[in-house]
């Protein structure tokens, strides 16, 4: 995994009383996740027709760009292909194409008639030079597009939005010309200074809500906002089970020490090994006793310490269900579920010593098989939650 | 008196948490002076002669402990 993780999310509200939005945002990963292509398109008008046009635009441009077509050529294809409004002589759909290349550390953006993107770096808005590109549409009308490019820096946030945001409140006393660009930027900036680690989801939701408020809670147009947050990946190490060979016990301590990120140990014996080698105390978390699964504990240097099989099985249940019916913050299974869900990369280190404990005839057999539990958990995280997962056996 | 109730996987499954709940209640009711701990696996459940749940009272190991059994032990002490 590269130095950056790109968190992408968007939020949307349809025009008041319209079911289907005319704005469409689409994002796709390609090239072993080293490339992310996203498009925000706004179809002319609103409702289903606008939605079809915008969907067409996003799908074609995302797929073309993912297949390594240059972003400018993609834009040109779209301009040539899209039908256009005969009366108004304008193209049916505006768009912003964003091509993120993590290997080259670079972002390219092609804009056609959408409000300009905003880049925030170090809590400040960073303006970039845009080059103007003229392209003809099928009936020969010249249209202006803008191309920009920048190198990614850790912590960058890129925000794009539809004109439902920039024209929010239009005609109102205070917003006769809509929501001014500088005001949008300062609102976002203020939010980020209060919520330093605001996620892409939080920021895009926030912007849509603010625009909606300015519109007097009745959206005059579809309001869409998308955010890209370039941050360091959230890494988590989960160690479970003692190594086959006792002489390998030291590996547990070493893995913990060498890992950068959150650290979890699931398993009583494993945590005892760590505590002994690292010379730390184990403190049982009394709040979490009396639950269906054994309590968790605290060991300095670790973010979570739980029992093994039962707790992991509980977390699997939660991952499968997409969360608990009722949140119990003291439930060790919930804590584990939460930490895994919040990670981008999870490294499992699995000790494969056969646990004689689970050869006890009173325990269901599949519970005893730590490897199976880990495998199931890893699969879920990878397939359902799109996490990057690695498993190492010791 | 020092009581350690094992809450490792095996003992928890076999009712360790019930023993803990019971003892905690007793602790509140009585004025006896006991120290309660809940370690994870005490390494007895994997030995053929022992059956979970395991409770250690003043360094003596008791296995296959039920609330009844616990009451008896406490009364004897
Ligand atoms: S779980 Fe209690 S002795 Fe092993």
Residue B16, domain CATH: 3.40.30.10
Q: Among the atoms of ligand 1, which is closest to the Cα of residue B12?
A: 1
- Residue found under tokens 């599949």: A366
Burial class (CB in 10 A: 0-12, 13-18, 19+), B12: buried
Cα distances from A386 to residues A58, A121, A179, A232, A343, in angstroms, run 22, 27, 36, 17, 10
- At residue A121 the predicted structure's pLDDT band, cuts being 50, 70 and 90, is very high
- pLDDT confidence bin for A364, thresholds 50/70/90: low
* Nearest Cα residue in chain B from A354: B46
Question: Most B CBs within 10 Å: which of A271, A275, A294, as the mutation test of the B interface?
Answer: A294
Whether B35 contacts chain A with CB within 8 A: no
Give the closest-approach CA distance of A290 to chain B in angstroms: 6
* pLDDT, mean of residues A246-273: 95
From atom 4 of ligand 1, which residue's Cα is the shortest distance away?
A: B41
Structural domain for B60, as ranges: 2-76
Q: Do the beta carbons of residue A51 and residue A256 sit within 8 Å? A: no
- The confidence band for A1, taking pLDDT boundaries of 50, 70 and 90, is very low
Contact A283, A297 (CB under 8 A): yes
Among candidates A268, A286, A359 on the partner chain, residue whose Cβ is nearest the Cβ of B41: A268
DSSP state of A223: E
Question: What is the three-class DSSP state of A177?
Answer: coil
Return the pLDDT at A279.
97
Q: State the distance from the centre of ligand 1 to the C-alpha of A360, rounded, in angstroms.
A: 11
- Distance (Å, rounded) from C-alpha A89 to C-alpha A86? 5
Tally of domains in chain B: 1
Domain with CATH 3.60.40.10 in chain A: 5-231
Considering only residues A240 and A4, tell me which one the structure prediction assigns the higher pLDDT. Answer: A240
Complex-level ipTM beyond the 0.90 threshold: no
Decide: B52 in ligand 1 pocket, CB within 6 A: yes
Spatial distance between the Cα atoms of A5 and A233, rounded to a whole number of angstroms: 5
What 8-state DSSP symbol labels residue A150?
Answer: E
CATH architecture of the domain with residue range A5-231: 4-Layer Sandwich (3.60)
């Amino acid at each position: 995994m590269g130095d950056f993780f790109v968190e992408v999310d968007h939020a949307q509200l349809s025009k008041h009383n319209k079911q289907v939005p005319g704005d469409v945002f689409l994002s796709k990963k390609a090239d072993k996740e080293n490339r992310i292509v996203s498009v925000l398109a706004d179809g002319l008008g609103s409702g289903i027709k606008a939605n079809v046009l915008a969907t067409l635009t996003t799908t074609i441009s995302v797929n073309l760009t993912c297949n390594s077509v240059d972003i400018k050529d993609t834009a040109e294809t779209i301009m040539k292909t899209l039908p256009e409004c005969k009366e108004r002589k304008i193209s049916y759909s505006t768009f912003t194409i964003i091509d993120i290349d993590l290997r080259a550390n670079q972002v390219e953006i092609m804009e056609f008639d959408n409000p300009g993107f905003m880049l925030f770096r170090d809590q400040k808005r960073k303006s970039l030079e845009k080059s103007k590109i003229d392209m003809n549409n099928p009936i020969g009308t010249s249209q202006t597009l803008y191309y920009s490019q920048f190198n990614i820096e850790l912590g960058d946030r890129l925000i794009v939005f539809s004109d439902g945001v920039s024209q929010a409140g239009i005609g109102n006393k205070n917003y006769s010309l809509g929501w001014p660009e500088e005001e949008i930027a300062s609102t976002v900036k203020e939010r980020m200074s209060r919520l330093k680690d605001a996620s892409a989801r939080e920021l895009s939701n926030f912007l849509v809500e603010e625009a909606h408020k300015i519109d007097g809670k009745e959206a005059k147009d579809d309001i869409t906002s998308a955010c890209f947050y370039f941050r360091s990946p959230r890494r988590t190490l989960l160690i479970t089970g003692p190594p086959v060979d006792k002489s390998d016990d030291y590996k547990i301590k070493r893995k913990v020490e060498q890992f950068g990120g959150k650290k979890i140990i699931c398993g009583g014996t494993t945590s005892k090994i760590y505590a002994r080698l690292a010379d730390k105390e184990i403190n049982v978390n009394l709040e979490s006793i009396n639950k269906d699964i054994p309590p968790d504990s605290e060991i300095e240097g670790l973010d979570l310490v739980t029992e093994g099989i039962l707790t992991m099985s509980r977390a699997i249940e939660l991952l499968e269900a997409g969360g608990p019916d009722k949140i119990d913050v003291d439930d060790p299974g919930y804590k584990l579920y939460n930490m895994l869900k919040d990670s981008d990369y999870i490294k499992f280190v699995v000790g494969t010593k056969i646990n004689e404990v689970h050869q006890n005839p009173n325990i269901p057999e599949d519970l005893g098989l730590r490897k199976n539990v880990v495998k199931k958990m890893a699969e879920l995280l990878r397939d359902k939650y799109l996490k990057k997962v690695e498993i190492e056996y010791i | 008196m020092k009581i350690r109730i094992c809450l490792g996987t095996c003992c928890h499954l076999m009712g360790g948490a019930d023993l803990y709940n019971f003892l905690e209640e007793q602790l509140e009711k009585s004025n006896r002076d006991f120290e309660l701990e809940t370690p994870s696996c005490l390494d007895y459940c994997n030995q053929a002669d022992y059956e979970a749940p395991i409770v250690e009272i003043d360094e003596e190991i008791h296995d296959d402990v039920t609330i009844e059994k616990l009451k008896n032990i406490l009364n004897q002490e």
